[in-house]
Amino acid sequence: MNTEHQKVWLITGTSKGMGLHLTKLLLSLGHTVIATSRNVSMLEREITTHRANLYPMALDITSDLEVKKCIQKAVETFGRIDVVVNNAGYSLVGSMEEMSDEEFRQTMDVNLFGTVNIIRQVMPYLRRQQSGHIINISSNAGYVGFEKAASYNAAKFGVIGLSEALAQEVKDFGIKVTVVAPGQFRTEFMNSIHYVKNRIDVYGVDEAEHLWSQFSGKQAGDPEKLVKILLQLTQLEHPPLHLLLGPDTYELVTQKRRQEEAEWEHWKEITLSTNFD
With contact defined as beta carbons under 8 Å apart, do 221 and 185 qualify? yes
Residue type, 245: L
Burial class (CB in 10 A: 0-12, 13-18, 19+), 69: middle
| Alpha carbon distance 271, 200 (integer Å) | 38
Question: Which positions are annotated as active-site residues?
Answer: 138, 152, 156
Residue type, 48: T
DSSP conformational letter for 182: E
With H, G, I as helix, E, B as strand and everything else as coil, classify residue 143. coil
Quick one: which of 85, 188, 101, 185 has its CA closest to 139?
185
